[in-house]
Amino acid sequence: MSLDRDTLFIGGDWVAPASSETIQVISPHSEELVATVPDTTPADIDAAVAAARHAFDHGPWPRMTPAERIDVVAAFSGLYAGKLAEMADVITAEMGSPTSFANLAQTPAPWMQIEAFLGIAREYPWEEIRDGALGSPVMVRREPVGVVAAIPPWNVPQFTIMSKVIPALLAGCTVVVKPAPETPLDGYLMAELLVEAGVPEGVVNIVAGGREVGEHLVAHPGIDKVAFTGSTAAGRKIAAVCGEQLKRVSLELGGKSAAIVLDDADLTTAVEGLKFTALMNSGQACVAQTRILASRANYAAVVDALAEAVSAMQVGDPMDPATEIGPMVAQRQQERVEKYIALGQEEGARVVIGGNGMPEGLDRGWYVRPTIFADVDNGMRIAQEEIFGPVLSVIPYDDVDDAVRIANDSDYGLAGTVWTGDREAGLDVARRVRAGTYGVNTYTMDFAAPFGGFKASGLGREFGPEGLGQYTELKSIYLENPPAE
């Protein structure tokens, strides 16, 4: 089945693009052409924003009751559930995520988000009456923020689209989604399901493109809010534009998270968990805990256990269910990671396993050898900068206070874990590390709880009631007291 497309999804219809320019989607595994789709232009962005603007200003969606919108989103959820395997295959084809991870997280997790937000929306206080401080009642309403620009990255495209589109829809907003040029294909399948579910024309528009059209979308006067997931550098630029225009913005940005292994941790259990938290999606994850903190007394044991476990992980064809680490999304990403591996050696860190060069048995594809660095100082660039690949730095600490200090010695504050045999000691560490999400002997994202970061890891939160609230404006309506009986 061909994945080629020649139209864009604007105003509830498949429309011809403004130019003949195309995006070539290349397999990160085979380096062969997967599909060709239109490359969005600023004129296409203008058309998509106009459609979303008209749907918000004049269409039925913002004027439906929350219950009516919930019914449409629930229909979409049911359709989406039937397409999880197909969507996972599309994502693996376009960006190289191992099919094991794609079928674990790339598509089931977005569907779980939809279901979680539906439950939240059913109980959400869309209107509430409060006892006013001056003696008269006050109605507090939560109204849709308006037209939303949703800009997801390429690493978990559906996951990051749903964290924006679903709460926006439930709140009554309309949306322009700009998928990354590396991952435009899953958006087409999503659009088909939205139409089938009965989402009105113009409520969701999907136009894939690169940085230039993204900048045009962010600055567009027809956009009321920007929701972005991506690099901190791009997030700073978006925040500056939104600040100038007093435009609402939420940013889920980078991370350089630390996993603290305490001496009383079960090392086998900890290392098995660290394999996932550090190397999920081939290391291409904002929450990847690629700084592994081990005490000096236990340092050699942690390094050896990690090296043994990571060396045994299968690297290769992402469509092979046995593969645990696939390719990088693009050749530029492969080159970026390899530069960091060379930099780590220049900084004086010791390569325990991996290093530059293609993994054994592979002669094509944008692969990187899973690499573990030991003797890493937290001031090194490989310990401070987000690499976004399968590269781990093991950093020694003196005591628990020192471990917390090192974990917090970062521009980022997105995620982290502590591994210990003492739950209360783990909770104490969790409370002291400045990160928006944290795990004690585990790491996950619970869609009932807010997700986001401290410091340079972003602004605002996704998931939970807090995530839904990002797409609402608060209105206070002052009421006169009812007449006395």
Candidates 324, 329, 415, 390; CA nearest to 365 is: 329
- Are 300 and 395 in the same domain? yes
- Are 31 and 105 in the same domain? yes
pLDDT for position 2: 81
Give the C-alpha distances (Å, rounded to integers) separating 445 from 112, 119, 179, 278, 292: 11, 17, 22, 15, 20
- Residue 169 falls within a domain, yes or no? yes
- Residue 367 falls within a domain, yes or no? yes
- Are 122 and 26 in the same domain? yes
Tokens of 472: 């609402």
- Are 278 and 426 in the same domain? yes
- Are 310 and 224 in the same domain? no
Predicted model pTM: 0.96
Question: Domain holding 31: CATH number?
Answer: 3.40.605.10
Q: Are strands 127-131 and 137-144 parallel, antiparallel or unpaired?
A: antiparallel
- Residue 446 falls within a domain, yes or no? no
8 A C-beta contact, residue 216 and residue 245 = no
Give the C-alpha distances (Å, rounded to integers) separating 303 from 263, 395, 461: 13, 10, 34
- DSSP letters along 395-417, please? EEESSHHHHHHHHHSSSEES-EE
Tokens of 70: 């919930």
- Are 329 and 233 in the same domain? no
- Residue 3 falls within a domain, yes or no? no
Candidates 104, 302, 68; CA nearest to 203 is: 68
Helix (H, G, I), strand (E, B) or coil at 150: strand
- Residue 389 falls within a domain, yes or no? yes
Cα distance between residue 91 and residue 86, in whole Å: 9
Residue span of the structural domain in which 429 resides: 258-440
Average pLDDT, consecutive stretches of 10 residues, N- to C-terminus, the chain (485 residues): 92 97 98 98 98 98 98 98 98 98 97 98 97 94 98 98 98 98 98 98 97 97 98 98 98 98 97 96 98 98 98 97 98 98 98 96 97 98 98 98 98 98 97 98 96 98 98 97 71
pLDDT for position 323: 98
Give the C-alpha distances (Å, rounded to integers) separating 130 from 133, 137, 353, 391, 479: 9, 6, 61, 53, 10
Q: Which regions of 334-433 does DSSP assign to beta strands (E)?
A: 350-353, 371-374, 391-397, 412-413, 416-419
- Are 306 and 392 in the same domain? yes
- Are 167 and 277 in the same domain? no
The sign of the CA dihedral 337, 339, 343, 349 is: positive
Which of 182, 286, 386, 462 is flagged as catalytic?
286
Which of 94, 182, 252, 338 is flagged as catalytic?
252
Active site residue 286: yes
- Are 110 and 201 in the same domain? yes
Q: Tell how far CA 400 is from the center of its chain.
A: 30
CA angle (410 as vertex; 404, 416 as ends), nearest 5: 55
Q: Say which residues have a Cβ less than 8 Å from residue 379's Cβ, sequence separation at least 6.
A: none
- Are 207 and 340 in the same domain? no
pLDDT for position 37: 98
- Residue 95 falls within a domain, yes or no? yes
Q: Is 99 exposed, middle or buried (0-12, 13-18, 19+ CB in 10 A)?
A: buried
8 A C-beta contact, residue 430 and residue 418 = yes
- Residue 448 falls within a domain, yes or no? no
Cα distance between residue 403 and residue 346, in whole Å: 25
Q: Hey, which residues does 158 pair with through a beta bridge?
A: none
Phi then psi dihedrals of residue 328, to 5 deg: -75, 160
- Are 420 and 273 in the same domain? yes
Question: Domain holding 430: CATH number?
Answer: 3.40.309.10
- Are 88 and 135 in the same domain? yes
Tokens of 41: 């232009």
pLDDT for position 485: 64
Number of domains in the chain: 2
- Residue 451 falls within a domain, yes or no? no
